Amino acid sequence: MSTPAPGGTRTFVLGFPVDPVTLAEAAAWVATAASGREGGKLVVTLNPEIVVQARADERLAAALRSADLSVADGVGVSWAARRSGGRLPGRVPGVELVVEALRLGGPGLRVFFLGGAPGVAGRAASEAARRFGTTVAGSRDGYFERPRQVPEVCAEVASSGADLLLAGLGAGQERFLFENAAALGAKVMVGVGGTLDVLAGAVKRMPAWTSRLGVEWLFRVLLDPKRWRRAPRLARFVWLVLRRD
């Protein structure tokens, strides 16, 4: 039996779907789907950068539109949804979604950690096992050659018997998951960006109040000025949303 996305009618932000779900609902959906019989379900944590990238990459766009669950990770997505008349109960930050899904799944959840620099995925896996009792199906860094090594990576994930695949592969990670879903074999796949770095302790989580106020991105920029290179994509996202008004 399939696991339908929770919430009501989807909202669309510049043509890409967002489900009106709370963090608790989204995490419960992930944990439930990962314990089910069906496989290949894709979870997208939508933010402005991904939207802008997808408008120039039809394969990525197809992946985002195919999402079984798509949540508003970025504050910009929530803002854009409101301007288009959509109603979202709030943001669902990717890090918090992963943490809550791991907590709910506990030892019964087999997870493969894929991505990050060498050592990051392994440390993230160890931390998940320590904090939540997660059963670690396997881990591998994201420094593999594409497309040559993709079949090897897919075979490693599939042979692990993972229920949940957390993939922090950077730009285009959703395209990778969507196009290789059958070969990966996981029941649920989530593109998690830098979440593995946070779990591994390589990147500090921002204070909870910054997320509540929607200024987490600003604090990250202040701590790492290199993040200003994201500014052109963010500015383009705002322009595209305003242009549709």
Residue 82 within any structural domain of the chain: yes
CB-based contact 64:18 (threshold 8 Å) = no
Long-range contacts of 26-31 (CB under 8 A, 24+ apart): 26/69, 26/71, 26/92, 26/97, 27/97, 27/100, 27/101, 27/103, 27/104, 28/104, 29/3, 29/5, 29/69, 30/69, 30/97, 30/101, 30/104, 30/164, 30/188, 30/190, 31/101, 31/104, 31/105, 31/109
Note the pLDDT tens digit of each residue in 198-245. Answer: 999 976 655 555 555 555 555 555 555 555 566 788 889 999 999 976
Question: Tell me, what's the pLDDT at 1?
Answer: 36
Per 3-state DSSP, what percentage of the chain is helix, strand, and coil (rounded to 5)? 50, 15, 35
Task: Please tell me the pTM assigned to this model.
Answer: 0.90
Identify the pLDDT of residue 87: 87
Total count of domains within the chain: 1
- The answer to whether residue 240 sits within a structural domain is no
Give yes or no for residue 124 having a pLDDT over 80: yes
Which 3 state secondary structure label does DSSP give 138? strand
Q: Is there a domain that residue 157 lies in?
A: yes
Q: Say if 45 falls within a structural domain.
A: yes
Residue 196 resides in a domain: yes
Say if 170 falls within a structural domain: yes
The range of the structural domain enclosing residue 32 comes to 11-200
In DSSP notation, 52-98 reads: HHHHT-HHHHHHHHT-SEEEE-SHHHHHHHHHTT---S----HHHHH
pLDDT digits (tens, 9 = 90+) for 141-174: 999 999 999 999 999 999 999 999 999 999 899 9
The per-residue pLDDT for 231 is: 72
Report pLDDT for 218.
53
| pLDDT one-digit tens code per residue, 64-108 | 999 999 999 988 999 999 998 998 998 999 999 999 999 999 999
Determine the Cα angle at 107 with ends 22 and 186, to 5°. 70
pLDDT (tens digit per residue) in 25-68: 999 999 999 999 899 999 999 999 999 999 999 999 999 999 99
103 assigned to some structural domain:
yes
Question: Would 150 be classed as within a structural domain?
Answer: yes
